[in-house]
């Protein structure tokens, strides 16, 4: 394979730039001509193709966001849009594609592989950690660390005023950001979409922890359950403690990637190119049990993510 392209798609994630760098430099190492597609599938449809050189990716390993920019593209769901995307690839003689993105982006990659025969490799780039086939997605670790940083600051003021803090984190329909940031920040309660909650039980738990001498309460709520404002309003209706909502929002999508995300980016990007260089397409790369793996793209997108109930129970046992 001599000419390949890469794009970043969907919500950006810290580590995408480090992955772009790894893909471009590994491709050049194997003698490939590498093109960047700007603005994800929208750019592929519109023909926003730029050549990527060794120096195009200098000084970006530490940067959040994505140098190629990203977009959510509804047109890629239509046959017309897909044909335009394939036309762009043909126009530049591009033989293989690397897609860095989440679930929705992988579905676009699956269509290009299955229906149009374009060898495509997916790199899991999303803060949500909602892909079943890989233990971690690129950006998740940094996003959780950003949440921790903010929660640490909140704790200071919440403890001073003996308040209940309701913190909303992202994750779409997946509770992993809430689960990990809840455990790592020492939250008393986490509320995730995977497990039904009962407001009366939450109030009882707040009362128990206050009886055990705690001066404040931290509740981490995943956005897939409800917003912090709404949750705090309902909770306030049932407790005399002072409740305050905080939505971390898009801050958790930005920032310099952590060591873990940079390491994943280097390995995912390199593995994607090794596969294309071996003439292998229609795969996604990931990490399982600390090993870099690859898997059939259709199989990967059809797997159902399992919630880590053991971690959830751990929080119940150590949060009092």
172 belongs to the binding site for ligand F6P (CB under 6 A): yes
* Closer Cβ to ligand F6P, 131 or 183, answer by number: 131
**253 sits near ligand F6P (criterion: CB under 6 A):** yes
Taking the CA atoms of 226, 228, 229 and 233 in sequence, report the sign of the dihedral they define: positive
Listed residue (85, 98, 89, 149) closest to 125, CA to CA: 98
Residues 197-236 that bind ligand F6P (CB under 6 A): 223
Distance CA 235, CA 208 (A): 16
CA 236 to chain centre: 32
Give the range of 22-30, 44-52, 79-87, 122-130 binding ligand F6P by CB under 6 A. Answer: 122-130
When asked if residue 171 is in the footprint of ligand F6P (CB under 6 A), the reply is: yes
By beta-carbon proximity to ligand F6P, the closer residue of 172 and 233 is 172
Based on the shown chain and the rule CB under 6 A, indicate whether residue 102 belongs to the binding site for ligand F6P: yes
Q: Considering the complex, what minimum distance in angstroms separates the CB of residue 34 from ligand F6P?
A: 26
Q: State how far the Cα of 247 lies from the Cα of 141, in Å rounded to an integer.
A: 19
Inter-residue contact 98 to 23 (CB < 8 Å): yes
Q: Are 17 and 64 in contact (CB under 8 A)?
A: yes
CA 186 centroid distance within chain: 22
Q: Apex CA 138: angle with CA 141 and CA 60, to 5°?
A: 100
Kindly identify the residues of this chain, within the stretch 268-297, that bind ligand F6P according to CB under 6 A: none
Number of residues that bind ligand F6P (CB under 6 A): 10
126 binds ligand F6P (CB under 6 A): yes
Q: Where are the alpha helices (DSSP H) in the chain?
A: 16-29, 40-46, 79-91, 103-116, 140-160, 176-185, 199-211, 228-236, 259-277, 297-302, 309-318
Which range touches ligand F6P (CB under 6 A), out of 21-29, 41-49, 125-133, 298-306?
125-133
Nearer to ligand F6P, 172 or 244 (CB): 172
Residue 66 interacts with ligand F6P (CB under 6 A)? no
Closer to ligand F6P by Cβ: residue 27 or 124 = 124
Residues binding ligand F6P (CB under 6 A): 11, 102, 126-128, 170-172, 223, 253
């Amino acid at each position: 394979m001599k000419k390949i392209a890469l794009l970043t798609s969907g919500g950006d994630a810290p580590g995408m730039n480090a992955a772009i760098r790894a893909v471009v430099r590994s491709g050049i190492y194997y003698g490939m001509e590498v093109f960047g597609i700007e603005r994800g599938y929208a750019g592929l449809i519109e023909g926003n193709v730029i050549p990527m050189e060794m120096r195009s990716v200098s000084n970006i390993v530490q940067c959040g966001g994505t140098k190629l920019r990203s977009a959510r593209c509804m047109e890629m769901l239509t046959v017309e849009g897909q044909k335009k995307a394939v036309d762009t690839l043909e126009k530049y003689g591009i033989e293989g594609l690397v897609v860095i993105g989440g679930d929705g982006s992988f579905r676009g990659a699956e269509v290009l592989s299955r229906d149009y025969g374009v060898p495509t490799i997916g790199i899991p780039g999303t803060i949500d950690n909602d892909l079943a086939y890989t233990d971690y997605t690129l950006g998740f670790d940094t996003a959780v660390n950003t949440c921790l940083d903010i929660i640490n600051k909140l704790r200071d003021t919440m403890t001073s005023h003996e308040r209940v803090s309701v913190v909303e984190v992202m994750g779409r329909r997946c509770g992993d950001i809430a689960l990990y940031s809840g455990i790592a920040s020492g939250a008393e309660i986490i509320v995730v979409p995977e497990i039904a909650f009962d407001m009366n039980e939450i109030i009882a738990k707040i009362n128990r922890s206050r009886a055990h001498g705690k001066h404040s309460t931290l509740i981490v709520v995943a956005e897939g359950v409800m917003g912090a404002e709404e949750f705090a309003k309902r909770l306030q209706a049932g407790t005399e403690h002072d409740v305050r909502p905080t939505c971390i929002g898009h801050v958790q999508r930005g920032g310099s990637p952590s060591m873990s995300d940079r390491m994943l980016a280097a390995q995912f990007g390199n593995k994607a190119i090794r596969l294309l260089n071996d003439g292998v397409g229609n795969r996604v790369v990931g990490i399982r049990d600390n090993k870099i793996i690859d898997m059939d793209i259709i199989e990967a997108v059809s797997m159902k993510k399992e919630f880590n109930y053991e971690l959830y129970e751990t929080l119940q046992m150590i949060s009092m």
